[in-house]
Amino acid sequence: MQSAYQLSTIYQILEEKNITDLHFKSRLEYYFPKISDLFEKLYLHHLKKEEALKKLLEILLENFDKRDLSLKKLDLERVQNPNWFSSEKIVGMMLYTDRFNENFKGIQNKIPYFKNLGINTLHLMPFLEVPEPENDGGYAVKNYRETNPKLGTMQDFENLAKELHLNEMNVVMDFVLNHCADSHEWAIKAKNGEEKYKDYFYFFKDRTLPDEYEKTMLEIFPDTAPGNFTWLEEQKEWVMTLFHNYQWDLNYKNPNVLVEMIDTLLFLANKGVDVFRLDAVAYMWKNIGRFNQNLPEVHFLLQIFKMSGQIVAPGIAYIAEAIVAPNEIIKYFGEGDAAGNECDVAYNATFMALSWEAIASQNTDLLRKSMNVVPKKPTNTTWINYARCHDDIGLGFEDYLIHELGKNPLQHRLYMLKYYCDGQENFGKGFRFMQEPNGNARLSGSMASLCGLEKAIELNDEYQIDLAIKKINLQHAIILSLGGIPMIYSGDEIATFNYYDYLNEEDKKHDNRWLHRPMMNWEIAQNLDNHPIQKTVFNSLKKMIEVRKNTPAFEDRNDLEWIDSGNSHLLVYKKTDKTGKNIWIIANFSPYETVFASWFIGINKNVRNLLTDETFTIQYQNFIGSYTVLWLEIE
């Protein structure tokens, strides 16, 4: 395709602006014609296309000029190591700033705590200015250029980011792309009838077009926010609101919206953000008669975001928050000529849900089967591996794979919900989230409570306490050894229970996901000697993180090999470092001691378990304890 912006035009503008940085010039020359081509695909007949493209070029120049020299230096270092985020040295933690330690200064004060545990990447949950009291946990943004006053100023955030960088730590932030709050400046201007800003959203005078859209749209929160459009009584119009009625969907069919959001992202990048979690990306483009997820235009938009970032701040990485089927999530890394030129990181959501399924069923067949059908991702991209996050646990398994195992998909999901929510053999204290008429639902609950520790302690059942601790350790051992970025949820390192006080908070009591978004318990965290169970969990995790960082095989090199050991209780896989050295991970997903064969390692081989430093000789059959994980290397 002929680029709308020729290199001669770019050279002329660089000369006019007196831009002399050779690295920046070469990146602009390489990426901007590609961005221009994508503009042609998205906005071929749009009257504002050329104006928006020219504005984008100006924005890239302005933001690079404003970028701090220390960040430019870091960019160049990372360009030399483009998959820096795939290193075995990276270990993340996600947290709500206020629930962890009040504000940005409070986070800064806890840097020694993170370093003691081994955490070097912090995902700070949404911290920009939001309306009160309802803001969807921070995902309804009122102002992208101001922080939530409760957490501190933008300068406080910048100070935190600088201090993290000085301590060789990274900061991840949520960038909400699909929608903004109805109190955002753009939305207020649209409410006041300004046509420019009405075109930033999807407005309709009657239900004719909304009804057509609805035919192919999912309902994201059918219980609390049914439908995808909200009636504005004062304006006598409908507006598109896929998530909640106070979150208006942005209209990316208007190129000025795209340019504004790129400018906003680069503004935040210049404040010290290392990684952007691009929220709800699957929904960014809507067409009548087409399913409202994963449209091709979404990928064009993400490529423009990524390449704009590559021009100004090439050290930044991007996470696709697209909780979709494996054959769709893989596309968010980029396909064909765009492979590796879209998002750098994606959530390994299927694995997360299946790890809980394997514990409930004491069987890893579905987990292994599902992983074997996930397409291979491009070079220099990676997964976030996690046992849980701020969201619910969706049971989004592939039905056909469950059928192949001779099980009924709905009944299998209902079994899982009963296992985790009804206090059966697991002692689980989870809650059903967004339950459907057929009983199917998603799952809420903290790791410790889902693993049975909360109830076991209530009953003073030493056996169940031991099993629960083992299950927590198993989940952490898995996410730390898969490769990619392990992301631990704040509080799980000290086995925090469900947080029931959310029921007393007016803006939270209707959403039981706050059950697993607890306030950090510093009385426990700072006095672990007085809390032996929590101390055991903390020290086990700390040891695993330390071993991971000293094991090059745990870098993500697309080398993960799933092994069918012949024992359905076991999950077995192999990681290999650059020198060819192998690490075998063997995890027992059952509450019983079982055995593993020797064929995939080799009989009579002397091995060392990296987690315990114990050595033994592999026999024909070898024992492994209940919910135990081995990280084995040949001596």
Q: What is the pTM of this model?
A: 0.95
**pLDDT at res. 498:** 97
**pLDDT at res. 285:** 97
Q: How far from the centroid of its chain's Cα atoms is residue 623's Cα?
A: 36
Closest CA relative to residue 159, chosen from 103, 201, 114, 207: 103
Q: Quote the CA–CA distance of 210 and 358 in Å, as a whole number.
A: 41
Q: The dihedral of CA 387, 390, 395, 397: what is its sign?
A: negative
Question: Residue 66, SS3?
Answer: helix
Catalytic residue among 75, 182, 279, 344: 279
- Based on the number of CB atoms within 10 Å of its own CB, is 586 exposed (0-12), middle (13-18) or buried (19 or more)? buried
As for how many domains the chain has, the answer is 1
Tell me the mean pLDDT in the region 79-89.
Answer: 95
Q: Quote the CA–CA distance of 574 and 576 in Å, as a whole number.
A: 7
Q: Is the pLDDT of residue 594 over 60?
A: yes
Domain assignment present for residue 618? The answer is yes
pLDDT band at 588 (very low <50, low <70, confident <90, very high): very high
Task: Give pLDDT tens digits for 608-626.
Answer: 999 999 999 999 999 999 9
Residue 246 structure tokens: 């106070």
Tell me the mean pLDDT in the region 394-423.
Answer: 93
87 C-beta neighbours (distance < 10 Å), count: 17
Question: Residue 278, SS3?
Answer: strand
**pLDDT at res. 426:** 75
Going from the C-alpha of 70 to that of each of 162, 164, 456, the distances in angstroms are 10, 13, 50
Domain assignment present for residue 247? The answer is no
**Range name among 175-189, 242-256, 371-385 with the lowest pLDDT average:** 371-385
Q: Is the pLDDT of residue 179 over 70?
A: yes
**pLDDT at res. 119:** 98
Q: Which of 635 and 165 is assigned the larger pLDDT?
A: 165
Q: Quote the CA–CA distance of 589 and 595 in Å, as a whole number.
A: 12
**pLDDT at res. 340:** 82
Q: Quote the CA–CA distance of 360 and 591 in Å, as a whole number.
A: 10
- How does DSSP assign 75-126, residue by residue? HHHHHTSTTGGGSTT--EEEE-HHHHHSSHHHHHHTHHHHHHHT--EEEE--
Q: Quote the CA–CA distance of 216 and 449 in Å, as a whole number.
A: 37
Task: Give pLDDT tens digits for 11-51.
Answer: 777 777 777 889 999 999 999 999 999 999 999 989 999 99
pLDDT band at 2 (very low <50, low <70, confident <90, very high): very low
Residues in Cβ contact with 380 at an 8 Å cutoff, skipping those fewer than 6 apart:
82, 83, 86, 340, 344
Domain assignment present for residue 576? The answer is yes
Question: Among this protein's residues, is 279 annotated catalytic?
Answer: yes
pLDDT band at 5 (very low <50, low <70, confident <90, very high): low
Catalytic residue among 88, 321, 492, 511: 321
Q: Quote the CA–CA distance of 275 and 298 in Å, as a whole number.
A: 20
Domain assignment present for residue 570? The answer is yes
| Mean pLDDT of the residues in the chain | 94
Q: Quote the CA–CA distance of 513 and 494 in Å, as a whole number.
A: 19
Domain assignment present for residue 588? The answer is yes
Task: Give pLDDT tens digits for 329-376.
Answer: 999 999 988 888 899 999 999 999 999 999 999 999 999 999 998 888
Tell me the mean pLDDT in the region 540-568.
Answer: 96
Share of the chain above pLDDT 90, in %: 87
Question: Among this protein's residues, is 593 annotated catalytic?
Answer: no
Domain assignment present for residue 413? The answer is no
Residue type, 610: L
**pLDDT at res. 1:** 39
**pLDDT at res. 337:** 86
**pLDDT at res. 6:** 65
CA atoms within 13 A on the CB side of 155: 0
Domain assignment present for residue 403? The answer is no
CATH number of the domain that 593 lies in? 2.60.40.1180
Range of the domain at 622: 561-634
Residues in Cβ contact with 227 at an 8 Å cutoff, skipping those fewer than 6 apart:
214, 219
Going from the C-alpha of 587 to that of each of 386, 470, 617, 632, the distances in angstroms are 16, 11, 18, 11
Q: Is the pLDDT of residue 390 over 70?
A: yes
Question: Residue 388, SS3?
Answer: coil
Q: Is the pLDDT of residue 423 over 80?
A: no
Domain assignment present for residue 137? The answer is no
Q: 571: which strand partners?
A: 587
Q: Is the pLDDT of residue 446 over 50?
A: yes
Question: Residue 223, SS3?
Answer: coil
Tell me the mean pLDDT in the region 96-102.
Answer: 97
**pLDDT at res. 346:** 95
Is the CB of residue 278 less than 8 Å from the CB of residue 262? no
Tell me the mean pLDDT in the region 320-326.
Answer: 87
Task: Give pLDDT tens digits for 266-319.
Answer: 999 999 999 999 999 999 999 999 988 899 999 999 999 999 999 999 999 999
Residue type, 634: I
Question: Residue 570, SS3?
Answer: strand
